[in-house]
Structure 1
Amino acid sequence: MVVFITGASAGFGRAIAKRFAQDGHKIIALARRKERLESLQEEIQECFIIPCDVCDRKGLEHHLAFLPQDYQNIDVLVNNAGLALGLEGADKCDFADWVQMIEVNIKALTSVTHLVLPQMVERRSGHIVTLGSIAGKYPYPGGNVYGASKAFVRQFALNLRADLAGTCVRVTDIQPGLSSDSEFSLVRFKGDVQKVESLYKNSNALKPEDIAEAVYWVTTLPKHININTLELMPTSQSFAPLNVWRED
């Protein structure tokens, strides 16, 4: 298979690339940081890199138009690129952070999907995987636009399923819970290592390799099986009671 992964330079994306390459699949790895992509290329075989901002639609169109012949028929698109910024309440957030999350988590994801999907429909074969989050289903303080963006991802994936009925193209939304060993929280807390360490301390959180295994599983099942959504949490994570605010 040819597997196209966005945000492939680190974290989930890098682990997903390595998991597919382990079984001999060809990888198209997209990310902004060329040096990180080159190091990935050194680790795995048959890896074509696209050093490009996922928000740059014209750049994406150019790179996809000039893929090598044996990488042109994309079998799996993994929409992994995404980010969270801040954990402040909605009245205290930096609006620029909201805009950036919308640009990457929603606009860029739909842009890449829109570019790749027609060839899958034409071939009557392919799989779109979106990396959502439990934040798209379970609200929490400070989740505001990040959680809303992941709710969009979840519904977008389900609506793709509705649109693609009869095309043989599969769609899955992977919804991880607490996950460590990636740059996600470091980006969210804008480099505050102490906050990151405090969040994950003794949590036995999910690892990028766990997410990679989930993505690999759903995409290598027999083609008559479609996993619509796959929600996974570490065993240590569960549900909080509903918050009730009481007047003094």
Structure 2
Amino acid sequence: GDGQAGGLGCGVIATGRAYCNLGTATVSGVWAGRYMVDAGWRTMNSASGEGFINELCLRTGTFLTDWFVSSLFGLDGVADPEAYRRLEAEAAALPVGSDGLLLTPWWLGSMTPYWDNDARGVMVGLSAEHGRGHFYRAKMEGIALEQALGFGKIEAALGTPITEIVAIGGGSRSDLWCQILAETAGRPVLRSSTVEASSLGAGICAAVGAGWFADMNEAAAAMAGRIERRIEPDPERHGRYRELLALFERLYPQLRSIYADLAAFKQKGVRR
């Protein structure tokens, strides 16, 4: 699949390194040498032909960014691309946790770890002090918190730590989002120069198939995207995000029955 090809394109072919594709959806993966099954991830074959990829999949990523810009803020990101920079500057000026605003990013339902098509987005803690910068930051934080939650489940099952995360996809161009990802996970985030890592991973497979390299390890070492920036987590902010992650993890169990009942209510239609 494209996610596993993306992992290959940024050199995720052994334990220790993870990838996080901040594309239209958010897809992250960790290589495992043995087959493992858990609701917290989906188990895929590694594109390298050896081992497996334990993959996190969230249906929203930059899709949610664009939804906020157009549907919530009423801005035209195509006609005014600077809108994204203005929003990021507003969000960057805010503290960890967006002044008490916590967001679940399930606008299109939840895949890993809850597998609930009825799950939907929620913003908890709204008050009169919150403006669009808070919403924009809470969106980044909600997606990053879900990745941190999934990475923690995979690490616990593997028994080996994730030492670094390679960020790819259009969302990885955001310095703030990469910093939040690093600080929620407590791991360095490496930004690849290759945005379209899935296409590169497919190219690596083709190069090995054509006989240009002896194996996937040699091809990936020669072709994988160059790391252009390393973003280290701030220990103090990581501590604050650990507190926030504990609150984030409590949200779905308390909302699950409401999601189901609300979906049933919607299914009945509108009576005037």
Q: What TM-score bracket applies, with the shorter chain setting the length? A: under 0.3
Normalising by structure 2, what TM-score? 0.25
Higher RCO (C-alpha under 8 Å, 6+ residues apart): 2
TM-score by length of 1: 0.27
Larger CA Rg, structure 1 vs 2 = 2
